[in-house]
Structure 1
Amino acid sequence: MGRALWGSEAVYAPGWPADMPVIDAITPDGSFDDVTAALSSVGLGSVPTWLRPYSVLSNGEQFRANLARLIAEAPSRAVLDEFSSVVDRQIAQIGAGAFAKAWRRTGGQAVLLSCHYDILDWVQPDWVFDTATGKFSRGSLWRRPRIDVDVWQTGWEHWPAFEPHHYLKLPRMIAATNYMATVDGQLVAHLAVSTRAGMVEARACRLVVMPEWQGAGVGLRFLDAVCERWRLGQNRYDKPMLTLFHTSHPGLASALRRSTRWTQVSAKLVGESKARSLQSMAKTAARLGTKNVGAGYGGHFRAVQGFRYLGAAPCA
């Protein structure tokens, strides 16, 4: 049926290089920003995953990588066989919804061949042909399922479940208040919030969205919800504070720039001098009479962008 629609050449079955990171294998001559945007749009937002070859990815990651490559290549017509058939149904539904939203922005047409009905509400198709009944339907008002997220204030006890999915290995933030998002009891996202010196404003870090929930749109909503609490003074200090947030993720940085709730305040291509940081920490340890840990911060080539949460604009 798929070949009969637009011919065999429309059936999308990309080959992947055996030893090339997926981020380099997707449209090698294209824009880096477009590739990262495509990966993020289908929920494959983990930077370490981008640097792995396709062959070592899990079934769910391979599913999303194929969708990201299709979005980046953006053919006018494509047929996807066995759509979502080899992945966990949670990943299938979230991934299908993320793909449908991103694919519509390309302006192309796609036919998805699947043996599962549970993705229909997430894809919101223009038409459906059910081979089991022979029924063809179009124009139905498909409604994407509502995701009800609960936000909890916690300690670090749940961080071990999120830590493997964070792109940096860092010590826990000092004096942080932790927040966790859940859906029907499932762990979805994590964020830690501390304060800058003098409690002039808050600082949010350690944002992690579980892989199976990436692409569902819950990450930024969760970040906004926590920062709004702090803006209103709903914190342990009962003090209203704006929140700073830094990220190296190009997709998240783009989303924060588009949001009217955030404003960009900094952008650095590389970290500060690690040697200068080491000297400063040694002087501080000598002055306080404490042990110097013999380490410094900075010295990396990781671009970091900073944003400040301002909240929703007041109604006119």
Structure 2
Amino acid sequence: MKLAVSHSCAEFDSYRAARVKSLFNCESGARFDLEVDLTIDDPDWSVGVIVGPSGSGKTSLGRQLFGPRAMWAPRWPKGAPIVDAIAPGGDFDTVPAALSAVGLGSVPAWLRPYDVLSNGERFRADLARLIAERPARAVVDEFSSVVDRQIARVGAMAFAKSWRRGAGQAVLLSCHYDILDWVEPDWILDTASGKFERAKAGRRLRRRPPITFDVREADRRLWPAFEPHHYLRLPAMIAATYYVATVEDQLVAHVAVSTRPGLREARACRLVVMPEWQGAGIGLRFLAAVCERWRTGKNRHGIRVPTLFHTSHPGLCAALRRDPRWTQVSAMLVGENRARSVMQLRKAVERGRMSAIGSGFGGHFRAVQGFRYLGEAA
């Protein structure tokens, strides 16, 4: 595929224009020409990248690749949450899965309109919509240009990994070279040098660096840093052991574990991954590492017990079902019986354990699914 870009404008001869030409020995700024030859006519690739400095012709090449209509610029409705705006005629589970796949796992953000999201959230929402609606060919301009580099790298990795699970071809246009290893593209065109690279069949040009993290016990004083990113507002767990994952002393993930009556089982709760690390695959690895500690007796009680984990997140449920280390043990569509909860609260007040009854818990629609950790040997 040969592409030629040619732009021209009027030649100016004002005093300042003439002085600039004289000072910098520049004869003219009226023309821009670029020719490239890309061997990408076949369907045997999924993700390509055109990278180079601003003004080097990336956008013009992108428009010529698949035509102007392939430039990904979704229109977002005003006054509607992004969970309604993404693939409105599609299956519901597709939307949370796409949002989680690109690292936008903050449930409150799903309930906000696009125009009130942060730049990082908009970047990931655009990618989630691209994954969910999945056109046959798409070109994403200014890829990762408006977000900090941590979100850019993790977001690039999460998008490429999710995009490759389905059909279609996507070309990313970016002025940042630091995303190349994280995208692991099938081909790269560098507009600064004119160099074109394409991976051999079944291989990729780059390999993303491994993400290693440390797991350590903590206390509830670190929970406030994670609490704004958890989808529920709950009091601190009683008699729980708190764990955090860190990358170079940066807080990345959190989970708390407490024992169930009889010390025969443990229960993990409050799993949170910081937004800038969502989509990097750390959450499940961290949760499994903590549960493995409890399975092998590496806890403050010195007991070897399996660990239960409950979640309502469709994407996380699907990931746990795919993981052979976990088995599903329960599924509930509604909360507990509210009337029974009120009776229990009334008895607690009568015994002097509480000062007020409250309205009770339960009766709401919430599809909670439970999983038990079986271990690495599974």
Asked if Structure 1 and Structure 2 have the same fold, meaning a TM-score greater than 0.5 normalized by the shorter chain, the answer is yes
Per the shorter chain, which TM-score range?
over 0.9
- Give the whole-Å Cα distance in 1 for the aligned partners of 2:334 and 2:119: 34
Q: Which residue does the alignment assign to 2:354?
A: 291
Quick check: 1:19 aligned with 2:79? yes
103-112 vs 8-17, greater mean Cα deviation? 103-112
Contact 1:228–1:311 at 8 Å: present in 2 too?
yes
Q: Which residue does the alignment assign to 1:5?
A: 65
One of 203, 210, 213 as aligned partner of 2:277: 213
- 1:152-171 matches, cutoff 5 A: 152-171=216-235
User: 1:49-89 deviations in whole A, cap 9, x for unaligned?
Assistant: 11111111111111011001001111111000000000011
- Give the whole-Å Cα distance in 1 for the aligned partners of 2:62 and 2:205: 24
3-state DSSP of counterpart to 1:203: strand
- 1:196-275 matches, cutoff 5 A: 196-275=260-339
- Give the whole-Å Cα distance in 2 for the aligned partners of 1:261 and 1:182: 23
Contact 1:281–1:292 at 8 Å: present in 2 too?
no
Contact 2:348–2:354 at 8 Å: present in 1 too?
no
- 1:58-137 matches, cutoff 5 A: 58-137=118-197
- Give the whole-Å Cα distance in 2 for the aligned partners of 1:3 and 1:68: 22
Alpha-carbon deviation of 1:25?
A: 0.5
TM superposition outliers: structure 1 runs of 4+ over 4 Å? none
User: 1:127-173 deviations in whole A, cap 9, x for unaligned?
Assistant: 11111112112226311111111001010111110000011110001
Unaligned runs of 5+ in 2: 1-60
| Higher Cα Rg, which structure | 2
- Give the whole-Å Cα distance in 1 for the aligned partners of 2:195 and 2:322: 42
- Give the whole-Å Cα distance in 2 for the aligned partners of 1:177 and 1:227: 12
Alpha-carbon deviation of 1:46?
A: 1.5
- Give the whole-Å Cα distance in 2 for the aligned partners of 1:302 and 1:100: 31
Alpha-carbon deviation of 1:4?
A: 1.0
Question: What TM-score do the two structures reach when normalised by structure 1?
Answer: 0.96
Q: Which residue does the alignment assign to 2:97?
A: 37
- Give the whole-Å Cα distance in 1 for the aligned partners of 2:349 and 2:291: 33
- Give the whole-Å Cα distance in 1 for the aligned partners of 2:280 and 2:267: 25
- Give the whole-Å Cα distance in 2 for the aligned partners of 1:155 and 1:181: 13
- Give the whole-Å Cα distance in 2 for the aligned partners of 1:183 and 1:293: 44
Q: Which residue does the alignment assign to 2:240?
A: 176
Please tell me the residue identity of whatever aligns with 1:194: S
3-state DSSP of counterpart to 1:168: coil
- Give the whole-Å Cα distance in 2 for the aligned partners of 1:311 and 1:56: 42
- Give the whole-Å Cα distance in 2 for the aligned partners of 1:100 and 1:293: 52
3-state DSSP of counterpart to 1:188: strand
254-263 vs 274-283, greater mean Cα deviation? 274-283
Q: Percent identity?
A: 70
What do you get for the CA RMSD once the two structures are aligned?
A: 1.2
Q: Which residue does the alignment assign to 1:189?
A: 253
3-state DSSP of counterpart to 1:278: helix
Unaligned runs of 5+ in 1: none
Contact 1:26–1:72 at 8 Å: present in 2 too?
yes
Q: How many residues align?
A: 313
3-state DSSP of counterpart to 1:106: coil
Quick check: 1:309 aligned with 2:373? yes
Alpha-carbon deviation of 1:34?
A: 1.2
Question: What TM-score do the two structures reach when normalised by structure 2?
Answer: 0.81
3-state DSSP of counterpart to 2:288: helix
Quick check: 1:52 aligned with 2:112? yes
Contact 2:244–2:251 at 8 Å: present in 1 too?
yes
